[in-house]
Amino acid sequence: MSLFVKLPVPSGNPQLPSCTIIVTGANTGLGFEACLHLSRLGVGKLIMGVRTTAKGEDAKKRVTKATGRPESSIEVWPIDMDSYDSIMSFATRASELSRLDGVLANAGVMTSNFSLSERNEKTLNVNVISTSLLYLLLLPKMRESGQNTGYTCRYVIPNSALHYVAPLAELDPNGPSIIDRLNDPLKSNMAGRYPLSKLLVLYAVREFAERTSSSGKGACIINTPNPSFCKSNLANASQGSRGFRIFEKLLARSSEEGSRVLVHGLLAGEESNGQYLSNCHVEV
Residue 1 lies in a domain: no
Is the residue at 116 inside a domain? Answer: yes
Tell me which residue range forms the domain holding 163.
Answer: 11-277
Say which of 45, 122, 198, 231 is annotated catalytic: 198
Q: Which of 84, 135, 155, 194 is catalytic?
A: 194
Q: What separation in angstroms does the CA of 265 have from each of 113, 149, 271?
A: 31, 20, 11
Residue 187 resides in a domain: yes
135 lies in some domain: yes
Q: Cβ atoms within 10 A of the Cβ of 186, count?
A: 5
Supply the pLDDT for residue 253.
81
Residue among 26, 145, 2 nearest 77 (CA) = 26
Distance CA 70, CA 117 (A): 37
**Per-residue pLDDT, 176:** 77
Q: Is residue 148 part of a domain?
A: yes
Walk along the chain (284 residues) and give the pLDDT tens digit of each residue: 455 678 999 998 899 999 999 999 999 999 999 999 999 999 999 999 999 999 999 999 999 999 999 999 999 999 999 999 999 999 999 999 999 999 999 999 999 999 999 999 999 999 999 999 999 999 999 999 999 999 999 999 999 999 999 999 989 887 778 899 999 999 899 999 999 999 999 999 999 999 999 898 988 999 999 998 777 666 554 555 555 555 455 457 899 999 999 999 999 999 999 999 999 999 87
Predicted confidence at residue 174, as pLDDT, reads 79
- Determine, yes or no, domain membership for 5: no
Residue 203 designated active-site: no
- CA–CA gap between residue 233 and residue 26 (Å, rounded): 12
Catalytic site includes residue 141: no
234 touches 28 (CB < 8 A) = no
CATH code (residue 189)? 3.40.50.720
What integer pLDDT is reported at residue 271 of this predicted model? 97
Q: How many domains are contained in the chain?
A: 1
Per the domain annotation, does 6 fall within a domain?
Answer: no
- Residue 112: burial class (beta carbons within 10 Å; 0-12, 13-18, 19+): middle
Asked whether residue 2 is domain-assigned, the answer is no
pTM value? 0.92
